[in-house]
Every structure is written in structure tokens, then in C-alpha cells.
Amino acid sequence: MKEISCKLLVIGAGPGGYICAIRAGQLGVDTVIVEAGKPGGTCLNVGCIPSKALIHAAEEFEKVAHMAGGKSPLGISVSAPVLDLGKTIAWKDGIVSRLNSGVAGLLKKAGVKTVHGWAMFRDGKTVEVETETGSQVIRAETIVIATGSAPVELPFLPFGGPVISSTEALALSVVPKKLAVVGGGYIGLELGMAFAKMGAEVTVVEALPRVLAQYDAELTRPVVKRLAALGVEVMTEAKAKGLSTKGDALLVETADGKNTKVSADKILVTVGRKPVTEGWGLDQIDLDMSGKFIRIDDQCRTSMRGIFAIGDVTGEPMLAHRAMAQGEMVAEIVAGHKRNWDKRAIPAVCFTDPELVTVGLSPEEAKAQGEIKIGLFPFAANGRAMTKLGEDGFVRVVARADNHLVLGIQAVGQGVSELSAAFGLALEMGARLEDIAGTIHAHPTQGEGFQEAALKALGHALHI
């Protein structure tokens, strides 16, 4: 049995883990990272990146189909398009492969040793890794747990056959004729809308009174409108009950208590994600938990000295960029730097059509803290949005009434994910309404909506 020692051991090469290892390597820390799969974790391999590739392909296909139907106001006419999903998936896989290689190269460049296999804790300083060439024991001064999360499986709809998770949905070779989506959160709607654009007949089954319940109703209204335009049937206050005997339909209890069947070739279950806390020897160490997550402090330290935890395994929000920021911070702490988690806000993006962006407090959350000002600017009054056929949506700014400190920013619209950096920067730097209103925004851009929303909150909007 081989044995190696290092100063830092990172378990999991997802966004949090590989960033932690790379930064530690840059700082001269002797670092080893262990990963059973390909570098990049869920996000790169079966999550963020491949889903956005599929969403983009669906958008392009729908644009051409719209033109073929003679409905384009741009005056463009083409023949009816044909989608070869196999080629689309191969293109997506090519992007993932390039990024896999890129991460592996960055780890090597930083001097990080990569061990391929599954890590199991022996104690708080030692893990055993089953590799292709046998067992490898790794002893480390400090260990970072970055094991990530996995799709939640429903006991009455276990994955297999027609029942799939987002992982399998991103690897389908043909577009399902009929797709049932269980769960109307961001994953279900992102993929459901994409498959609807590619020609699938999509039904969304959501147990709550409305889809995207984590966002306020005003923000999600344009998405609900778009779902209807795409022909997606949305069943709210409806509960999935299981698979039909023949396996060709989803059994559903409707809002009025009646039982019905939703015909489906595939049933996509997207009811959330759970932390991966099993299978790597959690029982061999003594970590305090916060529910199903590992409890951490503002430096990502666990209850055991010398063990940190980052990313999805530590709780909400389960976002890759949160894990990355945590990983970078932990690497610097291990290297002796003074760091702690003092982020004001973490942007969240939902890649539906139109897209959603939120950062900081919602209007309701802000109201609970005191009197506020709200400025909302519609993209229907934005020249760039008009030229992109993207007039649905708006930018909204929420600020304190007394000193105009910005507490939250939200947007819904075509391509607004790219505004998330500006929104996050504004909150991180403690911007006031006057700071945003006084910043010159390039014309014509959708970003002007950000400035106009601040002006509206101040009482002197210029373009509405």
C-alpha cells in the first residue's frame, strides 16, 4: 500500500475543490487533490456548463424554426430546420472535455498532485483512496472536504428507465416526444423550456402554488408568460405519485384532489439536490452537522481542528461561484493569510427564458428591515432590448429610504445573466442609489436599465 504526505489534501475536484487546490499550489502549499470522476465536478461535467450549452442550442433551433414559420419580424425566411440531438450532445461533450483538460492543466501548473479514486477517511488526518492501481494512503496536516451534491431521488420515482435526473437529461440522444418535469424550480424550468424549444411536449408538475417559488411573483411573471407561449403545460399544487404500470405516464394528484395521468416518454425529476455526505467515511470522524449539511464557521472551519468544508456540502446557496470563493479563501488561510467570509451578497442566476438575476435582498426581505425605496425600469423602454426582440422584463433596485444604500437588485430579461457582475459589484462596494445613477452607462445597452432603475428610485427617471 502506497503512502504519501502533504500539507493540504482536498477531497473533490469540483469548482470549490479545484480552485482551493490551485490557489494553494500558487501560494507554495504542498497540495494533493482527490477526485473519483473527471475534474470540474457536477458543474463542469453534468451541470452548469453542459446545461447552458443545451439551452443555447435550443434557443438557436427555436429562432430558426420561428423564421421558417414566416413569423420573424426581422424579415428573415429559411427552410424548416432539423435538429440532430446526437450532434448537439457531441458538441456539448467537446466543450466539457476542453474544460476538463483545462482544469487538469491548471492543477498541474500550480504543482498540485492529482490522485484519481474515491477517498475514505481513516481519521481526521488520513484518508485511503482506492485507485486503479491499488490503495493509496494520504496523510495531511489539513483536509478540505469539497464533495459537492447530488440530485434528490424520490422513493416513488427512483431513477432508471424513463425516470431521469438532470444528468441523464443532458445526455439524451433524441428529443423526447413527451416530457414530464417533476419540480418547477430553476433546474426543471431551464431544461423543460430547452426541450420545449426543441420540439418536446412538456408538462411541469409543481407541488407549490407557483413555479420558481424562491423568487417573487413579479419577477417570475415574464417566465410564466413565456412558458405558455412555448406550449408548456404547468400544473401547480399538483403532486407526482409515481410511474404508471406500463411506464409510459406519470401519476399525478391534481390541486382538486383528483388523480390523473401525464403521458411521458421521459420523466425528469428535479426536486432539488442533496449534499454528498455518505460513502467517504463521515462516521470515522466527528463533525458537527447543521441538518444534513456540514456545519462551518466564517472561515469554513468544521468542528474538527484541521478540517475545512466548502461548497454544496455546507449548505445553501448551492452555487458554484460560492464554492469557488470559499475554496480560494480556505487556500489562503492554510497558507497563513488572514481571511474570513465577509461577502455582502452572492448573485444567483436562473437561465430560463427570459433569464432571472437576483443579488441581495428582495423587496419583501428589505421591507422587514425598515422603510425602502424601489426603482423599476422595464426593458420595453430600452432601445437595445427592442433591437434584440427582448422587451419583456425589467431591472429593479431596492434601497434604504433614509440613506439610499442599495440592499438588493433583481432583473428578468433576455441575457440579463451578464448584468450579475455589475449587480454584485454594486452591493459588495456598498453602493448608494446616487452611485449607480451617477455612473455613465454605455448606450445602447441593456445595462442602462440598471442606471434608469436607480434614477426611478430617486424620483427622476429619464426614459419612462
> Which residues are the active-site residues?
443
* Structural Rg of the chain based on CA atoms: 24
Alpha helices (H) in 1-71, listed in sequence order: 15-26, 41-46, 48-68
Distance CA 59, CA 90 (A): 17
**14: three-class secondary structure by DSSP:** coil
Give the number of other Cβ atoms within 10 Å of residue 133's Cβ.
Answer: 9
Find the largest Cα–Cα distance for the chain.
72
Grid coordinates given for 321: 461561484
The answer to whether the bond into 50 is cis (omega within 30° of 0) is no
How far apart, in whole angstroms, are the C-alpha atoms of residue 273 and residue 266?
A: 20
Distance of CA 204 to the CA centre of its chain: 19
Residues near 301 by beta carbon (within 8 Å), at least 6 away in sequence:
307, 308
Question: 102, 116, 356, 74: which is closest to 223 by C-alpha?
Answer: 356
Q: At what angle do helices 48-68 and 186-197 cross, to 10 degrees?
A: 30
Q: Which helix (H) or strand (E) holds 138?
A: strand 134-145
Q: What angle do helix axes 186-197 and 217-229 make, rounded to 10 degrees? A: 30
Query: 365: buried, middle or exposed (CB in 10 Å: 19+, 13-18, 0-12)?
Result: middle
- Cα 331 to Cα 150: distance, rounded to the nearest angstrom: 25
Q: Which amino acid is at 327?
A: G
Are the beta carbons of 357 and 426 closer than 8 angstroms?
no
Q: How many CB atoms lie within 10 A of CB 444?
A: 13
